[in-house]
Amino acid sequence: MAANALVIDDEDIFIGRSKAKLRTALVIHGEPLVARSLAMILGAEAFIVETASAGAEGVSLAQQAAFDVIILGADLPDMSGLEAMNQLKLAEVTAAVVFASVTPATAAKAAMLHLSDCS
């Protein structure tokens, strides 16, 4: 096998002779341009990325698959980002959640709810 050969086997990636676990990310954001940009950035960092444009869709995806990280926008078309975070916590989603807040007040509310860690 060539030094930089890539073989995908189930959920493992083999690069040359090293083996690394694939990382998965879910981007839940109401702004399509922001969601695409985040997906591109994460993809460049070797994440397999799925996106959702609404909170309910994102929560549903998070319940169906085990993501390593979820990036959650503060303003979604169907609910607030805080409500989506609460639903993720109630659903016992174990992914790390990064809350993309646009205001310090919203970030403070998320911290008070202890929702930044959904495990």
Distance, in Å, from the CA atom of 32 to the CA atom of 13, rounded to the nearest integer, reads: 29
Using CA atoms, how far residue 18 sits from 24, 32, 39, 41, 43, in Å, is 19, 35, 25, 23, 20
Give the contacts of 91 (CB within 8 A, at least 6 positions apart).
59, 62, 63
If pLDDT is split at 50, 70 and 90, which confidence band does 90 have?
very high
pLDDT (tens digit, 9 = 90+) per residue, 46-64?
A: 899 999 999 999 999 999 9
If pLDDT is split at 50, 70 and 90, which confidence band does 116 have?
very low
If pLDDT is split at 50, 70 and 90, which confidence band does 114 have?
low
Q: Any idea what DSSP says for residue 91?
A: T
If pLDDT is split at 50, 70 and 90, which confidence band does 15 have?
very low
